Amino acid sequence: MSGLEMRPPEFNRIADDVKLGEAVKIYGFVNLYGCEIGDHSRLGTFVEIQKGAKIGRNCKISSHTFICEGITIEDDVFVGHHVVFINDRYPRATTEGGSVKTEADWVCQRTVVRRGASIGSGAVILGDLTIGERAIVGAGSVVTRDVPPGAIVAGNPARVRRTIPPGDGAVMEAAGSSEAGARAIPSALAGIVLAGAGSGPAWSVAVMCYNERETLKPMVERTMAVLAKNAEPFEIVIIDDGSTDGSDEVARRLAAAYPEVRLHRHPTNEGIGQVLRDGYQLTRGAAVAVLPADLQFAPEDLPVAMDALRAGADVVCVHRAARKDPRLRKVISSLDEALVWLFFGVWMHDLHWVKLYRRSVLDRIVIESHTPMVDTELLVKSHRSGFRLAEVSLPQYPRTTGRSTGATLPLIAKTFVDLFKLRLRLWSRARRTGAPS
């Protein structure tokens, strides 16, 4: 406790079992018991830290924050005002028998905040998750699942908005000011540009998976074989959308077996829109493709689209030469293409099929859709931003196992509603800014 500074000391409650590091600074009215505080950390007023919690070195815990049992905060972490951590999935006052709950009646859920992360004021962090190194949680967010390293998340529930490039101090400064609050982080989002292939893999492939246990392993291994022939660094990210058939176990085994493969799993089925967003935002490559796990797109055909990027395109759209879909789906797709041409002047086939994007496109465009409209929005905004679009024709193969779950009538209706909303948003922005609509 050498160098401990408390202001004022008479209004702090610090139990004898608290482990305080060197030069810890405490600003009054705190309640600490059974916890550890690392060297040179600062605790604001009205902070409570419970037993078993661990705070690393050089951390700043702002006022009115509650850190409960089971929380580990590593070094150099910023925690804003009024942040609440939760360690019980189903909190209840009494047991099923009617008696008051004790510690023996619940299981503590543990959460880890990795080194250099920042949590904005008013955020709520649910239990049993990890906030990755240098990640930023926006003010007022509700974090319900793991936050990838270097990601910026915001909203309720919190979703990935951007990824921070290595060494970007401006973003960290903006997030570090608790007074800037919610204003600082969104302003930082607009200027982020990822580094190129020198700081990450040259190619990223995200594999969309929902109940594709039979095809996931061959899809991933065939994709690895194709990418390995390029002699360029690559990664494969499996996005499991809450599968219930054991696909997640297959994905975990693949991630354990191959260092190029990692898994991002949704606890529940969130739909293809969120899968697409995660596929584009959680990958790190200089170029990104999102492929289905059902093998209707053959990984061996991917080099044709990759060559189109190498030839100078910024976005490559894969057109199915002979679609293996029912007639109704083809009609709906044609209507979708016609509306996009009518509304936005963009004519591309197969708006909701395989796309390849340069990272520079994904860094510049903010994705607002949460339905299958994600790719359409990216295409329209890419076109309006002057990026070069190209189209290649490749086969589609019949599904051999499982069943398609993407084209439900409610989802189709919501996608068309999103299309109209995008047109209205662009008109509105054009009136405000004078830009082309």
Q: Is the pTM of this model over 0.75?
A: no
Residue showing tokens 């920042």:
118
Lowest mean pLDDT among 88-102, 233-247, 273-287: 88-102
Instruction: Check pLDDT > 80 for residue 296.
Output: yes
Q: Contact, 6 vs 26, CB < 8 A?
A: yes
Helix (H, G, I), strand (E, B) or coil at 308: helix
For residue 324, pLDDT over 80 is answered with no
Looking at residue 95, its pLDDT comes to 80
Mean pLDDT over each residue of the chain, to the nearest integer: 82
Residues 3-59 have pLDDT tens digits of 566 655 556 789 999 999 999 999 888 999 999 999 999 999 999 999 999 999 999
- What is the 3 state secondary structure string of 8-29? CHHHCEECCCCEECCCCEECCC
Contact 188, 169 (CB under 8 A): no
- Which two three-digit tokens encode residue 313? 């395109």
Token code pair at residue 228: 């390995």
Q: How far apart are CA 160 and CA 166, in angstroms?
A: 17
Residue 184: pLDDT over 90: no
Q: What are the pLDDT digits (tens) for 387-430?
A: 999 999 999 888 877 666 555 566 566 666 776 777 776 666 66
Choose the most confident range, by mean pLDDT, from 65-74, 93-102, 321-330, 399-408.
65-74
Domain ranges in the chain with CATH number 3.90.550.10: 197-408
Superfamily, domain 197-408: Spore Coat Polysaccharide Biosynthesis Protein SpsA; Chain A (3.90.550.10)
84 token code pair:
């609440």
Q: Is the pLDDT of residue 99 over 60?
A: yes
Half-sphere exposure for 168 (CA within 13 Å, toward CB): 23
Tokens of 347: 């004519």
**Cβ–Cβ contacts within 10 Å for residue 132, how many?**
17
Please, which pLDDT band fits residue 328 given cuts at 50, 70 and 90? Answer: low
Residue 365: predicted pLDDT: 87
Across 155-300, where does the E strand assignment appear?
A: 159-163, 203-209, 234-240, 261-265, 287-292
What percentage of the chain carries pLDDT values higher than 70? 77
Fold of the domain spanning 5-190: UDP N-Acetylglucosamine Acyltransferase; domain 1 (2.160.10)
Count other C-beta atoms under 10 Å from residue 160's C-beta.
21
Dist CA 240 CA 250 (whole Å): 10
Query: Could you tell me which residues are beta bridge partners of residue 338?
Result: none
Confidence at residue 183, expressed as pLDDT on a 0 to 100 scale: 30
End-to-end CA distance of the chain: 63
Cα 104 from chain centroid (whole Å): 35
Rounded to whole angstroms, the Cα distance separating 58 from 38 reads 7
Residue 173 pLDDT exceeds 50: no
**pLDDT tens per residue, range 195-233:** 333 457 999 999 999 999 999 999 999 999 999 988 789
Q: Is the pLDDT of residue 298 over 60?
A: yes
The predicted pLDDT at position 330 comes to: 62
- Higher-pLDDT residue of 173, 142: 142
pLDDT confidence of 263, banded at 50, 70, 90?
very high
pLDDT value, residue 66: 96
Using the predicted structure, report yes or no on whether residue 314 has a pLDDT greater than 90: yes
- Given a contact cutoff of 8 angstroms between Cβ atoms, the answer to whether 235 and 283 are in contact is yes
Minimum mean pLDDT range among 78-87, 181-190, 341-350: 181-190
CATH 2.160.10.10, the chain: domain bounds = 5-190
Q: What is residue 186's predicted lDDT score, i.e. its pLDDT? A: 34
Residue 4 sits at φ, ψ, to 5 deg, of -60, 130
Phi, psi (rounded to 5 degrees) for 264: -120, 115
Q: 259-279 burial string, b = 16+ CB within 10 Å, else e? A: ebbbbbbbeebbbbbbbbbbb
